[in-house]
Amino acid sequence: MKYSKFYNDSIDNPERFWQSQANNLAWYKTPSTILSKDQHNYDQWFEDGELNLSYLCIDKHIEDGFGNQNAIIYDSPVTNTKEHITFNTLHEEVSKLAGGLQNLGLSKGDTVIIYMPMIPQALYAMLACARIGVIHSVVFGGFAPHELAIRIDDCKPKLIITASNGIEIDKIIPYKPFVDEAIVKANHKPEKVIVFDRKLGVNIQHKNYDVGYSALVEKSPSIEAIPMPSTHPSYILYTSGTTGTPKGIVRDTGGYATALKFSMKYIYGVDEGDTFWAASDVGWVVGHSFIAYGPLLNRNTTILFEGKPIKTPDASTFWRVISEHNVKAMFTAPTAIRAIKKEDPDGALLKKYDLSCLKYQFLAGERCDVATLNWTEEQLKVPIIDHWWQTESGWPMISNMVGVDLKPVKPGSASLPVCGYNIQILNEEGEEVENSVEGYVAIKLPLPPGTLSNLWENPERFKMGYLNRFPGYYFSGDGGYKDEDGYVFITGRVDDIINVAGHRLSTAEMEEIVSSHKAVAECAVFGVHCEIKGQKPLGLIVLKSEKISETNVIQKEIIQDVRREIGAVASFRDVHIVKRLPKTRSGKILRKLLRNIADEHQYNIPSTIDDASIIDEIKSTYQTQKIGIHK
Ligand code: COA
Ligand code: AMP
């Protein structure tokens, strides 16, 4: 099948195109209304359809005779465990946990937070919620109690599901204590906390609200999946915005299932029964779409990997997993490849494994630099597919659609728009620009099925953040350009969001924490280039008084504050003292200028700058402190 015909069909006749894709799912009630408007006058898909994600991911395959196929392979080098979980076993675990949730009084429309490491029970919890229409919100384990508390107050869960602990390379991460701390901090108090004890010798301090996971599952009845309207929210997933408050992306059910089934076949090029591996975390959108729901919907075996690309135990782990579990397509972030390349530059460890099962290597989460793309291609000798998407979209927006026809790879580009995404590059005035001209990456409405349906209980922020900037378009927040063949090159965020090791973080949020330190008069936090993580946050602070001594104590306290409030995942390790910050005459700090100087990108000194002599001061600080390209 030719990509251009397939793509054009999706843009010219979206309703016909997506109705036909939706027919690949087993609906309880097949939709007859394909595209309509919701109460906020925003597009929604398959309004009158009814289905259940948990049924489609589990029961359907058992009914089709695949109960003994592996649904999940849990591979955990940090605990030295491997577990093969069939669809039959998955059914038992999920349907009983769903029964347990029902016994605890949960029903359709209630919310639950899942704060768990990469263990099978995290997937069971997601699927058990989906089985009875409970809306889950998975929070990434690298976030601190404060961040968890913000999410508790926003989505007001009736219950939290957690585990005793996680394991990061060689340290124990206290999940349950973090939940207890978050509940103390939050205004909303969940009724119960279900705790899965990993039995790793970690002592759990029990509270009155605790319910033991294993005992609950043991005594609960198995229950059937309940039909859900297509527009019913399947989950809320928080992501960084340009303010200190994260945005709760709401995902529907029917559009999402349609988009994921479509993605597995046409983007990732895998057939039912194949093994697929996304080396991410259930706390991110990749985990939702391509560890949990996508592969399971498509009857793929999904790999649940609890480890890191390096040090668990070494830089050969990824290759071992691919080879041992017969992975056909794999997905990771370029940062993981850079970490492996640093430890094993010649690929000596990789050569120890038979990787002939691997057909495609996908990369996303951040811009893929050409050196990383080339190295991966040389080592793996399969197509390396960079593809672009966001928490908001839920599935890829720009990709080489290898299941349709493999197009030539152009280093630096995520390739061509995926079916359903009418991607345009706009200027400040919202006009489409010529090829090769950089602008704002926007998508003409309607977005295809599976993309965000709103922000949780905040339709105004949804409109302000995504729809108002360019009427008739969804604004992605990224900049980029197209070449003469229609390939899109993403150049990076145009706002205060940074991407650290594939993790999306808000510098505005970090600034709020840094500026609340008692010694800080003002500050700027922005992302600078990092060889492994792509970007890392850097803080520049101006002290309230030049007479303040023990500046290294202040620096350490600020680093600790950010770690305590946001979490280790912020990777905030550099804060430097400067005498002043460059500002416009109206007092706005010129963060982009600070970043460009650090990374030695081309920059113009804005004509509105208050005092241009400050640039030399900043440059000399960068040199003496070995910041950015000076390190
Ligand atoms: N739970 C608790 N803590 C976590 C965590 C989790 N799930 N994930 C990360 N952290 C902690 C780490 O332990 C580390 O803590 P430290 O400061 O005490 O060392 C901190 O957060 C930063 O972690 P990370 O960003 O993972 O950096 P690293 O230096 O430990 O590892 C890489 C570097 C490149 C190996 C790692 O970032 C990586 O594997 N990246 C790929 C990420 C990815 O797949 N993203 C996909 C999103 S699509
Ligand atoms: P997240 O919502 O965490 O998935 O982060 C989405 C952001 O990551 C996007 O808006 C981009 O800025 C960046 N991103 C993701 N994939 C790519 C890619 N393939 N190329 C460039 N940037 C990417």
**CA within 13 Å, CB half, 82:** 6
**Encoded tokens for 251:** 């995902």
Q: How confident is the model at residue 34 (pLDDT cuts 50, 70, 90)?
A: very high
- Is-contact 250 244, C-beta < 8 A? no
Mean pLDDT over residues 134-145, rounded? 97
- Dump pLDDT digits (tens) for 286-344: 999 999 999 999 999 999 999 999 999 999 999 999 999 999 999 999 999 999 999 99
Above 70 in pLDDT, residue 1?
A: no
What's the longest Cα–Cα distance across the chain?
75
Architecture of domain 3-307+387-480: 3-Layer(aba) Sandwich (3.40)
Of 233-237, 335-339, 445-449, 545-549, the least confident: 545-549
**Encoded tokens for 487:** 């390939």
* Burial tier of 39 (Cβ tally within 10 Å: 0-12, 13-18, 19+): exposed
- Is-contact 391 285, C-beta < 8 A? yes
Above 80 in pLDDT, residue 545?
A: yes
- Dump pLDDT digits (tens) for 16-25: 999 999 999 9
Domain positions in the chain: 3-307+387-480, 501-624
Higher pLDDT among residues 441 and 617, named by residue: 441
Residue 334 Cα to ligand 2 midpoint, Å, equals 11
Q: Does an H or E element contain 254, and which?
A: helix 254-262
Pocket-testing residue among 143, 249, 332, 389, ligand 2, by greatest number of atoms within 8 A of Cβ: 389
- Please name the residues in contact with 356: beta carbons below 8 A apart, sequence gap of 6 or more: none
Rounded to the nearest 5 degrees, what angle is found at the Cα of 134, between the Cα atoms of 105 and 162? 80
- Is-contact 501 485, C-beta < 8 A? no
**Encoded tokens for 524:** 């700027």
Measure the CA–CA gap between 450 and 437, rounded to whole angstroms. Answer: 30
Residue 569 Cα to ligand 1 midpoint, Å, equals 6
Mean pLDDT over residues 428-442, rounded? 97
Q: Which of 410, 469, 414 is nearest to 442 (CA)?
A: 469
Pocket-testing residue among 290, 331, 571, ligand 1, by greatest number of atoms within 8 A of Cβ: 571
Ligand 1 pocket: which residues have CB below 6 Å? 141-142, 166, 168, 173, 279-281, 284, 286, 308-310, 332-333, 335-336, 339, 365, 501-502, 532, 568-569, 571
Higher pLDDT among residues 627 and 299, named by residue: 299
| CA end-to-end span of the chain | 49
- Dump pLDDT digits (tens) for 350-409: 999 999 999 999 999 999 999 999 999 999 999 999 999 999 999 999 999 999 999 999
Q: For residue 105, what are the CA distances in angstroms to 132, 212, 385?
A: 11, 16, 45
Token match 């927006």: residue? 397
Measure the CA–CA gap between 519 and 347, rounded to whole angstroms. Answer: 48
Architecture of domain 501-624: 2-Layer Sandwich (3.30)
Question: Which is the closest atom of ligand 2 to the Cα of 476?
Answer: 10
